[in-house]
Structure 1
């Protein structure tokens, strides 16, 4: 069975990969001048890639 430290390291790697994928997606959408398509409040909406943050950091809540 994995220890808590091993699980934390694995989670951190996954989060870092997701943050990098987000950064690359925004960069690609800006280069192609293509909207980001997301679901917001149960509706599908298009967002201008210039209106979003180029990076996003995951903050884990305590608890």
Structure 2
């Protein structure tokens, strides 16, 4: 593998881990403050209580 491809893979891995950590912190914050998440499920709007999200 070339050095450029390996560098991109490492960068991708770091970004993915950072996004996962950020989402975990957001869920923890929302749970603490009795928050809700709003998602779209195939065009339908769905509300999910933060306390119902299991990580």
How far the C-alpha of 1:49 sits from its partner, in A, is 1.1
Which structure has more strand as a fraction of its residues? 2
TM-score by length of 1: 0.74
| 4+ long deviations beyond 3 Å | none
2:52 matches 1:51? yes
Gaps of 5+ in 1: 55-63
Larger RCO: 1 or 2 (CA < 8 Å, sep 6+):
1
* Count of paired positions: 53
C-alpha RMSD of the superposition: 1.3
Gaps of 5+ in 2: none
